[in-house]
Structure 1
Amino acid sequence: MAITSANQLELLQTAEAVAREKMIDPALVIEAMEESLARAAKSRYGSEMDIRVKIDRKTGRATFTRVRTVVEDELLENYQAEFTVKQAKQYMADPQVGDTYEEEVPPVDLGRIAAQSAKQVILQKVREAERDRQYDEFKDRNGTIINGTVKREEYGNVIVDIGRGEGILRRNDKIGREAYRPGDRIRCYIKDVRREVRGPQIFLSRTAPEFMAELFKMEVPEIYDGIIEIKAVARDPGSRAKIGVISYDNSIDPVGACVGMRGSRVQAVVNELQGEKIDIIPWNEDMPTFLVNALQPAEVSKVVLDEDAERIEVVVPDEQLSLAIGRRGQNVRLASQLTGLDIDIMTEEEESKRRQAEFEQRTKLFMDTLDLDEFFAQLLVSEGFTNLEEVAYVELDELLVIDGVDEDTAQELQTRARENLEEQARKALEHARELGAEDSLIDFDGLTPQMVEALAEDGVKTLEDFATCADWELAGGWTVVDGKRVKDDGLLETFNVDLAEAQNLIMTARVMLGWVDPTELEADEEEGDDLEIDAEEDTDEEQA
């Protein structure tokens, strides 16, 4: 099959037809043809030759060219595609290393095998161009809702025709009780678009929280316009969901706008999600207040937030416990997802018992250490004193407000508390020395004898040992294991040492040991301060 004038125009027509069918650029098809013809020509003239083909975009004429590159004498390897400066002078006036010489060669006569090979190259290039086109089209639609038609089901996964490509709705991204047949219309959320060897993979979802948010954006014009914002979504797909919304217009109720007239807007979303019950909750920046709203319809008596641990303790009336927890823990689980906090729920009776136990424990502490009777110890606890340090170093006036306590009694209480603390420190220091704690650690400013004892019990016995510790090893922290937050106990956590204080102690020890240059440390701190100032200025400009 030689490329003669009779079929030159056919190349352009074929390229146009293929490009129109596959919806790709005709130039890409012509480039594929050029490459396939060049490969066929190499099989005719020799694989070592550098044969290039150029198809005229107007006439369709294919020009076959042999290209030879000028190289230095010692680098000459391929005699068919390269030649030296001396050899090049036969063809070129003033050849320089790197110059190329092109000469036209006769078109090849494509045999059956060569023609088949050329066809395969063209098809491969067209497929690659089609995949690139699909990826470029759908990557920008990631995070949006798309309508499609069910094509087939494979091993529980649904293959969806989405126009110019196929998406896959995996088994765990389907709402549990949904079943589909070929030809069914389906609405999905584009969860991810990946470029893979076998082509772009478009992953769809109907269980993603973002799917619900996008559905509300379609049904509620105020959300689309930005007047109302969806701040958080938590779903138990197909069963129940909670959504937190906030309005930036005081005249618009965010919950009412999302519900719609006679529930029309929320009902449209519910119908799309196969009857999934949706609780719409007003968002509040104050997390305890937002959590109280999120736990509805249960009533909450008390909320205690631990920001460091990202935990929140909720107290509910005894009869409200099952309602707050929900069927199989659904209500509290969704509230936890919505707020991003771990939630501990207890009844008022359970909280009362715990508070009573704490009261008795502190009463006993003061009875044993200060040699007080039960009534006097209970008075101290009732006034908010929780440990000996508070009694020993509090202002005298704060003890005088207790009924029956005069100045002499208050001074006696503080004397007993200080003597007890000094005795505890002495025993802790003796024990630390017995464990092998060295003076470099004992004399380090910022560590109490009890802290040194705790460190020595864990093998930290010298200042060098202490300087190698990480801040979280001292202050404690939280890590995520298998999707769950796990508590890491710190060596000094019981002494109320936080991360910032732990980091300061460790850096001070490293400076004392000469491991860190204090001037560099000051420079880093100044740079950090400058960054904070710049950030504040940027924020002010944005607000302005």
Structure 2
Amino acid sequence: MFNLNLSQVIDQVEKEKNIDKAQLIEALEAAMLSAARKKLGPGADLEAIYNAEAGEIEVYEFRQIVREVTNNTLQVSWEEAVNYDPDLTEDAIGEDLGIRLDTREFGRIAAQNAKQIIFQRVREAERNTIYEEYKDRKGELVTGIVRRFERGNIIVDLGRAEAAIGHREQVKRENVRSGDRVVAYVVDVQEIARGPQIVLSRTHPNMVVKLFEQEVPEISEGVVTIEGVSREAGTRTKIAVHSRDPDVDPVGACVGMKGARVQAVVQELRGEKIDIVPFSQDEARFVCNALAPAEVTSVIIDETNRKMQIVVPDDQLSLAIGRRGQNVRLAAELTGWKIDISSETKIAEEKESAWDSLTQIEGLSDIHIHTLYNYGFRSAEDIILADEEFFAQLPGFNLEMVPSVKESAQKVMALEAEKAKEVLVELRGVGHQWLSLSRYVDEAAEKGESDETRMLQLDGVNETLAKRLAEFGYFGPDDLYFENEDERLVHLVELNPGKVQQLKYQANLWANKVTGGTVDILEEVPNDADLAEAALFDQELGGDAPEEAAASDDASDAEAATPPAEQIDASEEVATVEAEA
């Protein structure tokens, strides 16, 4: 086995495995040394040398030349040394003699051990080569073939190495099969005992950046830069781009002729939507760009808390928020600002409330009130809590008028507190109703009745809709009953107005019925247009078809509801509400 010409074998392995020739020779020399020690013992002084001309590994045993041998392993007599090398003279006594060993005498077991060492060294050299090749490829894209699936991980064949796409790095709903070609982003290359582990990702935001670098020459050349990226893998990505050349449109460069460049990226991401946003040094403009395609009416900036209040037309509110809040969420991540989106109607209501409070303060003109509002003052309480020096530095104000303005604000605040007490008295009835409904829910839970079971008692609710409502915190009918903002159900849960009216009314009927009439029915009966919209929503939703809501029958059931057998002490319940307040 060891007498064949190794030069051709070494050259062939070097080409096939891409392993350095010196590493292969070192492995062969180590293997031959191991085989020789098996035969001669661990105390022998041995050395293995690769002879390139002969194409073999030569093993030498070194012994000291002496006249009288005291150690047969490390010494050789003068007479025996002359037999090995007739040209020796007595001057060589005390020197080492290299005796070439016949490798054929090592035996089968020694040869097997040498073979194992060679394989082990070759594997180690191959692992090191792969690690050295990929350790500098972090942050790059690689292409491979899906080979198999292991414990939720996708194993990808990269040619000379295998890589893994972990469960968290996979795109949800992306159907990947064995044999598919995939492009992935190299997140990390780890050196472990089994060899280099290459970690790939299909969800990393930088994967989109690298794809655009491949498709857009202006980006690879540095003319156009990607300033930021926010991504929800599989659904939508926003990237902010900027051009260093005023003659180059960064958005147009990324889109390409007839959208060819961006479509190539979308195709690689298997249909993921991509919004290309022009970057701007003006923070407000940048946030407005990030919220596109929604139109922005005005922006209120809070630099202290790095927050922006974005005002949009009422018909643009849903578009600005996006499906389940995705548009505003990605825009906030892209810009690094907290974004609060409000409709013009809501802002107008807030302004009217603030105006009612501020106009009651004596000594303030319309100009003063406008100034206070623009600086974030929304009530008389805000004026009382404001620092006097800051207050005096506002345009149109001075230190002399601060005491009188604050004194007047105190009086206004006292009047508002009186009105608040009146409202609280009105709310006591609501609190009593809330406690009655809460008691029923607790008792039902003790009996093992789940929130979903109660939700499915409502006409117009099936299991699919119940799960969607639960995702946004509407677990039972009581959550729908106490929801005052219909917009939240429309924009977050994505119900149409007719479906919202149907569900709110059904929740009112349910609450009235289970509390024996204690809880009032506050919602109006859905009209035919509402029921038509609700039916359209049910058709689009799919799943088990919800039962038709019989508004008139439910209304009659509510009127026929009888009080519960156990009456609630109203005074005790109201006292509890006040204590909690």
| TM-score of the two chains, using structure 2 as the length reference | 0.57
Following the alignment from structure 1 to structure 2, what is the Cα–Cα distance between the partners of residues 396 and 123?
Answer: 82
Aligned match of 1:19 in 4, 14, 17?
A: 14
Alignment of 1:494-533 (within 5 A): none
Following the alignment from structure 2 to structure 1, what is the Cα–Cα distance between the partners of residues 45 and 226?
Answer: 61
Aligned match of 2:388 in 387, 390, 411?
A: 390
What secondary structure sits across from 2:8 in the alignment?
A: helix
Give the Å deviation of 1:155.
Answer: 3.1
Alignment of 1:390-469 (within 5 A): 390=388, 394=392, 398-399=396-397, 411=400, 413=401
Aligned match of 2:223 in 195, 205, 227?
A: 227
1:117 aligns with 2:104: no
Following the alignment from structure 2 to structure 1, what is the Cα–Cα distance between the partners of residues 13 and 23?
Answer: 10
1:161 aligns with 2:157: yes
Aligned match of 2:253 in 246, 254, 257?
A: 257
Following the alignment from structure 2 to structure 1, what is the Cα–Cα distance between the partners of residues 72 and 321?
Answer: 82
Kindly indicate whether the alpha-carbon contact (under 8 Å) linking 1:65 and 1:102 is maintained by their aligned counterparts in 2: no
Name the residue aligned to 1:38. 33
Following the alignment from structure 1 to structure 2, what is the Cα–Cα distance between the partners of residues 129 and 147?
Answer: 24
1:375 aligns with 2:371: no
AA aligned to 2:55 is: G
Give the Å deviation of 1:266.
Answer: 1.3
More off after superposition, 260-269 vs 314-323: 314-323
Kindly indicate whether the alpha-carbon contact (under 8 Å) linking 2:294 and 2:316 is maintained by their aligned counterparts in 1: yes
| Offset from partner CA, 1:5-52 (integer Å, 9 cap, x none) | xx1x52333323322321212221111011111122222222244533
Following the alignment from structure 2 to structure 1, what is the Cα–Cα distance between the partners of residues 256 and 153?
Answer: 35
1:178 aligns with 2:178: no
AA aligned to 2:388 is: E
Give the Å deviation of 1:299.
Answer: 2.0
What secondary structure sits across from 1:271 in the alignment?
A: helix
Name the residue aligned to 1:59. 54
Following the alignment from structure 2 to structure 1, what is the Cα–Cα distance between the partners of residues 5 and 159?
Answer: 30
Following the alignment from structure 1 to structure 2, what is the Cα–Cα distance between the partners of residues 393 and 142?
Answer: 54
Give the Å deviation of 1:300.
Answer: 2.1
Alignment of 1:239-388 (within 5 A): 239-352=235-348, 354=350, 374-376=361-363, 383-384=371-372, 386=383
Give the Å deviation of 1:103.
Answer: 4.1
| Offset from partner CA, 1:245-283 (integer Å, 9 cap, x none) | 111121121111211222222112111211111111101
Name the residue aligned to 1:484. none
Following the alignment from structure 2 to structure 1, what is the Cα–Cα distance between the partners of residues 277 and 147?
Answer: 38
AA aligned to 1:336 is: A
Give the Å deviation of 1:337.
Answer: 1.7
More off after superposition, 335-344 vs 58-67: 58-67
Kindly indicate whether the alpha-carbon contact (under 8 Å) linking 1:391 and 1:417 is maintained by their aligned counterparts in 2: no
Following the alignment from structure 1 to structure 2, what is the Cα–Cα distance between the partners of residues 307 and 383?
Answer: 18
Following the alignment from structure 1 to structure 2, what is the Cα–Cα distance between the partners of residues 395 and 328?
Answer: 43
Kindly indicate whether the alpha-carbon contact (under 8 Å) linking 2:225 and 2:242 is maintained by their aligned counterparts in 1: yes
Structure 2 unaligned regions, length at least 5: 65-70, 76-89, 378-382, 408-581
1:188 aligns with 2:189: no
AA aligned to 2:224 is: I
Name the residue aligned to 1:505. none
Kindly indicate whether the alpha-carbon contact (under 8 Å) linking 1:392 and 1:418 is maintained by their aligned counterparts in 2: no
Name the residue aligned to 2:516. none
For this pair of structures, how many residues does the alignment match?
A: 376
Give the Å deviation of 1:358.
Answer: 6.1
Kindly indicate whether the alpha-carbon contact (under 8 Å) linking 1:234 and 1:241 is maintained by their aligned counterparts in 2: yes
What secondary structure sits across from 1:374 in the alignment?
A: coil
Kindly indicate whether the alpha-carbon contact (under 8 Å) linking 2:391 and 2:397 is maintained by their aligned counterparts in 1: no
| Offset from partner CA, 1:134-167 (integer Å, 9 cap, x none) | 1122223322222222222223322222122122
| TM-score of the two chains, using structure 1 as the length reference | 0.60
Following the alignment from structure 1 to structure 2, what is the Cα–Cα distance between the partners of residues 352 and 316?
Answer: 12
Kindly indicate whether the alpha-carbon contact (under 8 Å) linking 1:67 and 1:103 is maintained by their aligned counterparts in 2: yes
Following the alignment from structure 1 to structure 2, what is the Cα–Cα distance between the partners of residues 64 and 192?
Answer: 43
Give the Å deviation of 1:414.
Answer: 6.0
Name the residue aligned to 1:428. none
Name the residue aligned to 1:500. none
Following the alignment from structure 1 to structure 2, what is the Cα–Cα distance between the partners of residues 106 and 227?
Answer: 68
What secondary structure sits across from 1:125 in the alignment?
A: helix
Following the alignment from structure 2 to structure 1, what is the Cα–Cα distance between the partners of residues 47 and 330?
Answer: 64
Following the alignment from structure 1 to structure 2, what is the Cα–Cα distance between the partners of residues 205 and 120?
Answer: 36
| Offset from partner CA, 1:309-344 (integer Å, 9 cap, x none) | 443332333333222111111101111221123323
Following the alignment from structure 1 to structure 2, what is the Cα–Cα distance between the partners of residues 215 and 396?
Answer: 51
Following the alignment from structure 1 to structure 2, what is the Cα–Cα distance between the partners of residues 392 and 224?
Answer: 50
Kindly indicate whether the alpha-carbon contact (under 8 Å) linking 2:28 and 2:57 is maintained by their aligned counterparts in 1: no
| Offset from partner CA, 1:442-491 (integer Å, 9 cap, x none) | xxxxxxxxxxxxxxxxxxxxxxxxxxxxxxxxxxxxxxxxxxxxxxxxxx
Taking only the aligned residue pairs, the percentage that are identical comes to: 44
AA aligned to 1:15 is: I
Kindly indicate whether the alpha-carbon contact (under 8 Å) linking 2:388 and 2:402 is maintained by their aligned counterparts in 1: no
Kindly indicate whether the alpha-carbon contact (under 8 Å) linking 1:159 and 1:169 is maintained by their aligned counterparts in 2: yes
AA aligned to 1:26 is: K
- 1:92/1:390 Cα in 2 relative to 1: closer, same or farther (>3 Å)? farther
